[in-house]
Structure 1
Amino acid sequence: MNFQHRKRLILQTVDERGSADVQELADLLQTSAMTIRRDLVQLAASGLIYRTRGGAMTVSLATDSHRFANKTAVNPERKDYICQLAAAEIQEGDIIFMDCGSTVFRLCPFIRHKRITVVTNSLPVVAELLSSEVTVNLVGGEVDKERQAIHGLIAEEHMARYRANRAFIGVDGISLKNGLSANGEREAGTAMMMARQSQMTYLLCDSSKLETDKYLQFAPLSLFDVLITDAEAPDETVAAYKQAGVTILN
């Protein structure tokens, strides 16, 4: 069976079931697990699915030329590592905020079995958690089609009504000199409101974003309580952040 035929069957299966693991797809297509893994890497790079540990999940809500899906497909192993660490911080019964970041989105498969409440402005997060044990609270307001998220004044007023045990937010850049930065004001406003309404704030940030500055500098390092990054973060960078008083899990 050639790649195009496998591609059609893989996409059909993931779309129908919402998710599928490697062995399941290998049995269905009567091919090896190694071949399926290679296929999933190619499909994720094209923004057609997103990779999870052991399989793939749908990104059917990530439209607009699959821009959001493409972001989730960047550094998937690093993001999944970060999300495993983040999921271990969540207790049964917790109320948590999750923003619309691509790394935060990948937290979904690691928490879907937990009896918790998630307050989120991310449409893909809602889609992935609807069939799980999680109670979902979708923030109201205007939909940002590109980010597949809800932003704006009404969204912030919605979030201000709730108190959470923990907030999990993403960031486009972070540096010791300039703090947190974003590519736009909408994401920054959401992150600050979620942090303000939470007892603990976790910044989920893969190591490629450390010591980078983006368009808008919006908050100091004190906005969050814990930085969760991956094992690829340079030792000297991790040491510098710890010396500056930042709590790091990696």
Structure 2
Amino acid sequence: MNFQQRKNKILAQLASRGEVDTRELAMALDTSEITIRRDLNRLSDEGQLYRTHGGAIPVDQPPLPFEFTQKATANQSAKDNICRQAAALINDGDIIFMDCGSTVFRLCQFIKNRKIKVITNSMPVIQALQNTAVSLNIIGGEYDAARQAIHGSMAIEHIARYQAHKAFIGADGLSAKGLFAHSEKEADMALALAHHSHITYLLCDAAKINKPSYLHFAPLETVQTIITDAALGQLSYCKKKGVKVITV
């Protein structure tokens, strides 16, 4: 396959998914990752895409901040498997909450063509889902540039006006004691989303399981289902709390 053929396939996938991953492209096009990186660099030089850590996004989307991109691409394969499973639980017509977590962000690529409404405080989620089949409701409030998200009392009031079918939230740590976060702002937002949703799903990769962090902000029962790549045995305490665990 020559460059022009690879270029057409890369740009087609970029248009349909809103991002491309170097490793996935190499497998799909049956070529090396070195060749794909070279192709992406060439297309970036031509102004046809933005290069990111591990892939690329369309030129009509501003590049995500480096810190957020690092978090979103850490344990990327596991996060994508988690989000692929989460997307399978979403039905057309659903109203869903999405928080500003880096794992939840990776759900975007799997729901772009769904006729759903997303209510979110995450700027990367907004960027990824604009100009797609998804209808967006943007939570208003105080902008946190470091986290690329909206927080604060006005944001909490905004959420309280709505009721979602499903909420998808993240956490910085999880144990039998409950959910943990590095930030009070993010903890408050996650709680608000959970309180105004019929079902709350926690998307959590194995690196965060049984690793409490700075702030214990909610009991385990705040969520109804945990979707994770961790071994089921690591979360045996969830059954006692009535929390379902889906492993990927």
**TM-score range for the pair, normalised by the shorter chain length:** 0.7 to 0.9
Q: CA deviation at 1:238?
A: 3.1
Match of 1:162? 162
After superposition, residues 120-199 of structure 1 pair within 5 angstroms as 120-176=120-176, 178-199=177-198
**Which whole-Å deviations, capped at 9, do the CAs of 1:19-44 have from their partners, x for residues lacking one?**
34659977xxx99343256779xxxx
Structure 2 unaligned regions, length at least 5 = 1-6, 40-50
Change (3 A) 1:50 1:202: farther
RMSD: 2.9
**Alpha-carbon distance in structure 2 between the residues aligned to 1:248 and 1:161:** 29
**Alpha-carbon distance in structure 2 between the residues aligned to 1:202 and 1:25:** 30
**Alpha-carbon distance in structure 2 between the residues aligned to 1:140 and 1:184:** 19
Match of 1:43? none
**Which whole-Å deviations, capped at 9, do the CAs of 1:25-66 have from their partners, x for residues lacking one?**
77xxx99343256779xxxxxxx6255xxx643673522xx1
**Alpha-carbon distance in structure 2 between the residues aligned to 1:234 and 1:24:** 25
**Which whole-Å deviations, capped at 9, do the CAs of 1:135-163 have from their partners, x for residues lacking one?**
00110111100110000011111111111
Match of 2:233? 236
- Cα pair 1:25 1:36 within 8 Å, conserved: no
**Alpha-carbon distance in structure 2 between the residues aligned to 1:24 and 1:212:** 30
Are 1:219 and 2:222 counterparts?
no
Match of 2:245? 248
**Alpha-carbon distance in structure 2 between the residues aligned to 1:83 and 1:49:** 20
- Aligned residue among 34, 53, 64 for 1:62: 64
- Cα pair 2:57 2:63 within 8 Å, conserved: no
**Alpha-carbon distance in structure 2 between the residues aligned to 1:39 and 1:241:** 46
TM-score, length-scaled by structure 2: 0.80
Aligned residues: 221
**Which whole-Å deviations, capped at 9, do the CAs of 1:65-117 have from their partners, x for residues lacking one?**
x1111100100000000001100110110000000000000000100110000
- Local SS of the residue matching 1:114: coil
Match of 1:5? none
**Alpha-carbon distance in structure 1 between the residues aligned to 2:115 and 2:92:** 6
Report percent identity of matched pairs: 45
Amino acid at match of 2:219: P
